[in-house]
Chain A
Amino acid sequence: MVETLLSALGALLTFDHLLYMLIGVSVGLVIGVIPGLGGIAGLSLLMPFLYGMDEVAALAMLIGLVAVIPTSDTFSSVLMGIPGSSASQATVLDGFPLARQGQAARALSAAFISSMAGGIFGAVVLTGFVVVARPIILSFASAELFMLALFGLSMVAVLAGRSLAKGLAACCLGLIIGSIGGAPATGEFRMIFGFEYLYDGIPLVIVGLGFFAIPEIADLLRKNSAIASGNALGSGWFQGFRDWWRNLWLSMRCAGLGCIIGAIPGLGGSVVDWIAYGHAVQTVKKDPQFGQGDIRGVIAPESANNAMQGGALLPTMLFGIPGSGAMAVFLGGMVLLGIQPGPSMVGADLNITYSVIWSLALANVMGAGICLALAIPISRLTQIPFQRLAPFMIVLICFAAFQATRSLADLVALLALGVLGVLMKRFGWPRPALLIGYVLAPQAETYFYQALQFNGWSFLGRPGVIIIGLMTLASVFFGLRNRVDEHGQVVPNQDDAPDVPTLKAHLPQIGFAVAMAGLLVIALTDALKHDFLGKVFPLSVSIAGLAMLLVLIPQLVRGKTGHHAHFDGELTGEHVGQDGIGTLWGGLFWIGGLVGLTALIGFYAALLAFFPVFLIVRAKAGPVAVALMTAGAAGFILTLAWALSLNFPSGALQDLLDLPWPFR
């Protein structure tokens, strides 16, 4: 085994392979920086070049790409508050406040070092683990997978915000959104309301961008200022490194968590950052500042998400079962290279496995190094007045969104969820709780049904189930003790919320809560139409959600001033009373404009019109700047679309006329 390991390492350290890995790493870094684009887009970009490449070199290139996306996606999470990919949504919670306080350099360096450490830790664990992994992975049956989904859901306890009822209601909404589309047991289509788009459910990237990116853009667009006040980057590169070193144990724990969750097929990697973040909040005792810029809130998810990639390689290579969308593409790449995953990956083909594992470690070092070097130039973006940056962000986010099914419906869904996201942010509904519910809904439902089918209720007596069950209870206990709200404070349930003491001022948040109850009622009535197996999950979830709202709404109506359930950013936010604050709806209006225009003339033509109009009307840019920025954006999007060989979403115009690409 040691011999195989060394020979694999030797083959890897040749100039050729390092060069190909560098190509993969570079593509991965670019893709990671662009908000919303993740491993799937990056791998699809490289797929056409795989043909005829040397096996080890091609694998090095693919791994280089997969490994560094969770490193470079930190840029937009920290600097703009927009998750760079689904792997670093949790980084936003503390990374962005740090950037606004002028500590971006500290946050970024801590994040990159954590990413690197997590990645290397993952590779080291894999090196030993890979040979014994098969039986361990096989010991996770449907029952254990269901319990793991519950464990993931237990993180809602810590992320529920000031009002537990509100947090749980948000989680139920997420579970409902996650159950749209085909029911796992019967294949019945739930809550599709005649829209073909909803048959497959709403894609993760749309939910992530709608709830996290759009509210942030809308917020930033209200003020005509740059993201960072004063010194954009701040000093503190070494501070970040020292922060990581002081929290080494936390970083290693989270890396371990990431590695394990990645390795278990079926749970999916997109909750890993939240679980790590929740774990940090539950366990940190010394002076927690989570949500307001606690560096440990950056270290934890960043350590976990890189380690997760390593773990996710295991089921992909040993069983041919991809743990995530990106791994599915990676698997396709392996088959194209003539490598069939299977038991031989720890037998005759062990050298391939080791070359993959060590490529992973090397790529993590490369990626973190390059990111550290690029941090200063990239961070300058935060000094640009946001109204000049905004059209790029809006276009990029729309571009990322329609990667999902490549249709106009993606953009419409993005806009609709964006509206919901903006309102949830305003009224202090915890969006992380919703996201966790959304991601885990299919797992929880499918594995529960399967566990019952295979074992009956006796599945509750399995040792694995009991162990994970106890972990879940512990997680709920520590979670409730250390609950953090949307804006930071670890919450004592004291009724000292900043508030305005009139019922009239509370009407908007009451209205929103009632509207959410309305959504749950719609879900409930839809559920009643289905067979028992198709309805039981959405029915119970919507009833639970309605029960939470039954607690919440009276609190909102009758609660005394400052009741912990009260929150409305428009009453008590820090911008209230300042000059030059635009309306909450400004950003949404522009995004809606781009989507509407796309419906008329197709995305690319809409982009060409949207850019100059936005820059002239909203950013008051001069003609030269308008021309340059429009051309730059148009060229960039075109190059990206060309490289991914995709057609833009078409509009009404394309139904009438046959236009050449990219207007087709």
Chain B
Amino acid sequence: MNTTFTITRRVALKIAAGAVALGLAGPAAAETDFSGKTIEWIIPFSAGGGSDTWARFNAPLLSKYLPGNPVVVVVNEPGGGSTKGTNLFAARAKPDGLTILGTSGSTQFPYLLGDPRVRYEYKDWKIAMASPTGGVVYSSPELGLKGPEDIANLKDKDLVYASQGATSLDLVPLLGFRMMGFNVQHVFGFKGRGDGRLAFERGEVNIDYQTSSAYLKNVQPLVDAGQAVPLFSWGVLNEAGDVVRDPTFPDLPSFPEAYQMLTGNAPSGPDYDAYFAFFTAGFPAQKMVFLPKDTSDDIVATYQKAFEDMKADPEYQANAEAVLGTYEQVTGPLAQALFEKGTTIAPELRKQVVDMLADQYGVKLGE
């Protein structure tokens, strides 16, 4: 027994010494060959969530397509609703291309709302890739509608929605339903959209939305069985920055179309602008990969190319739908446009949303 212990210790010591030596060697120079380097991909969420899965799906592909095939490790820095890890990235990351950040709608929302915990500035960073997502709103057939064309039936109904919280991604349906003039009771405290869907299946709520892949897998069977009625998709952004029908659901109206069906007018005005900012941050620009402030354009271009190249990889194509839903990850001008739209809100719109949340839902954004 004793010998084994000693050997283990000796081996461990060697590993330790080796690792220390490795760490001390390798001064980081800004060059677009990453041979022998380790790239840290900061994910400000704990292991196992959507963002973590997304990063772990991309990491090996990124390693394969970046010049020099660096090791890409996903580093989880959870806490503070993703503000902690993001603050850390903003304070510590060097512009050498060896530290990147993956954000999500939950990182964008506190920034847009002016949460006091936010000490990062999106405008400092360079975007490498954006990963859009979409979702479909559906309701219970007990409300007496057959399909999207009957959406006006919902006007005078008491609707109940299972929400994760008024400052979470569920802010988008909250603002959307308000614009449509629906009478919705938001019940908070749900742990995720899956949890909300369960409440729908239990009959506790009668209106819900799911992101596209979850919708296809879990709600489509309900629709086929006559237990759910699809209403509209949130829609996707085209290159001009307009909301258009989601190509995954070509038969469903987008939110602006549904709004027009209800009211006869295209949505506009400050309410729509506020909705639009959070919608963009939550869906078309939901997940983004950033390089730190002052990163050279060469490095940014190298990353963009790697993200483009990986799309042809059979590994990517095999699993992309399960992880990403039905949407392509984008780079270049479209990513830049999504980035800008998803991280910008006029100060008066911010105030309007924050005041509304405080008045109507008792939400306070910390001290």
Partner-B contacts on A (CB < 8 A): 40, 43-44, 47-48, 51-52, 138-139, 141-142, 182, 184-189, 192, 194, 196-197, 199-200, 265-266, 319-322, 325, 328-333, 335-344, 377, 380, 405-407, 446, 449-450, 453-454, 531, 533-534, 628-629, 631-632, 634-636, 638-639, 642, 645-647, 660-663
Which residue among B81, B188, B192 has the maximum number of chain A CB atoms within 10 Å of its CB? B188
A194 to B122, CA, bound (A): 25
Q: Smallest CB-CB separation from B91: which chain A residue?
A: A655
Chain B 59-89, CB-CB to A under 8 Å as 1, else 0, gives 1100000000000011111111101100000
Known: A186-B188, A631-B9. A40 touches B16 (CB 8 A): no
User: Can you list 24 A-B pairs, Cβ within 8 angstroms, ordered by A?
Assistant: A40-B48, A48-B73, A51-B60, A186-B362, A186-B363, A186-B364, A196-B80, A196-B117, A199-B117, A199-B366, A200-B81, A319-B194, A319-B218, A325-B46, A329-B48, A332-B49, A332-B52, A335-B323, A336-B56, A336-B319, A453-B185, A634-B12, A634-B16, A646-B75
- Tell me how far the C-beta of A528 lies from the nearest C-beta in chain B, rounded to whole angstroms: 15
Known: A321-B198, A406-B77. A632 touches B57 (CB 8 A): no
Cβ-defined contact, B165 with A182, below 8 A: yes
Chain B 336-367, CB-CB to A under 8 Å as 1, else 0, gives 00000000000000000000000001111011
Residues of chain A within 8 A (CB-CB) of B1 are 377, 380
A-B contact count (CB 8 A): 194
Partner-A contacts on B (CB < 8 A): 1, 6, 8-9, 11-16, 19-20, 23-24, 40, 46-49, 52-53, 56-57, 59-60, 73-81, 83-84, 117, 160, 165-167, 185, 187-189, 191-192, 194-195, 197-199, 201-202, 204-205, 213-214, 217-218, 221, 315, 318-319, 322-323, 361-364, 366-367
Cβ-defined contact, A142 with B199, below 8 A: yes
A341 to B5, CA, bound (A): 44
Cβ-defined contact, A638 with B322, below 8 A: no
Cβ-defined contact, B160 with A454, below 8 A: yes
A328 to B78, CA, bound (A): 14
Known contacts A196-B80, A342-B218; 5 additional CB pairs below 8 A are A186-B361, A320-B218, A342-B221, A449-B189, A531-B362
A186 to B9, CA, bound (A): 52
A52 to B74, CA, bound (A): 17
Known: A182-B165, A335-B323, A660-B23. A632 touches B47 (CB 8 A): no
A330 to B53, CA, bound (A): 10
Known: A185-B188, A335-B53, A338-B319. A325 touches B48 (CB 8 A): yes
Which of A141, A333, A341, A407 interacts with B79 by CB under 8 Å? Answer: A407
A185 to B189, CA, bound (A): 6
Residues of chain A within 8 A (CB-CB) of B217 are 320, 340-342, 344
A635 to B204, CA, bound (A): 53
Cβ-defined contact, A265 with B24, below 8 A: no
Known: A200-B81, A631-B16. A187 touches B166 (CB 8 A): yes
- Tell me how far the C-beta of A189 lies from the nearest C-beta in chain B, rounded to whole angstroms: 6
Cβ-defined contact, A639 with B363, below 8 A: no
Cβ-defined contact, B16 with A638, below 8 A: yes
Known: A44-B76, A321-B198, A332-B56. A662 touches B47 (CB 8 A): no
Residues of chain B within 8 A (CB-CB) of A645 are 40, 73-75
Cβ-defined contact, B48 with A405, below 8 A: no
Which of B59, B84, B201, B218 interacts with A196 by CB under 8 Å? Answer: B84
Residues of chain A within 8 A (CB-CB) of B160 are 453-454
A660 to B57, CA, bound (A): 27
Cβ-defined contact, B81 with A199, below 8 A: yes
Q: Smallest CB-CB separation from A41: which chain B residue?
A: B47
Residues of chain A within 8 A (CB-CB) of B167 are 187
Known: A187-B166, A336-B57, A638-B15. A321 touches B194 (CB 8 A): yes
- Tell me how far the C-beta of B356 lies from the nearest C-beta in chain A, rounded to whole angstroms: 14
- Tell me how far the C-beta of B358 lies from the nearest C-beta in chain A, rounded to whole angstroms: 10
Residues of chain B within 8 A (CB-CB) of A43 are 47-48
Cβ-defined contact, B56 with A200, below 8 A: no
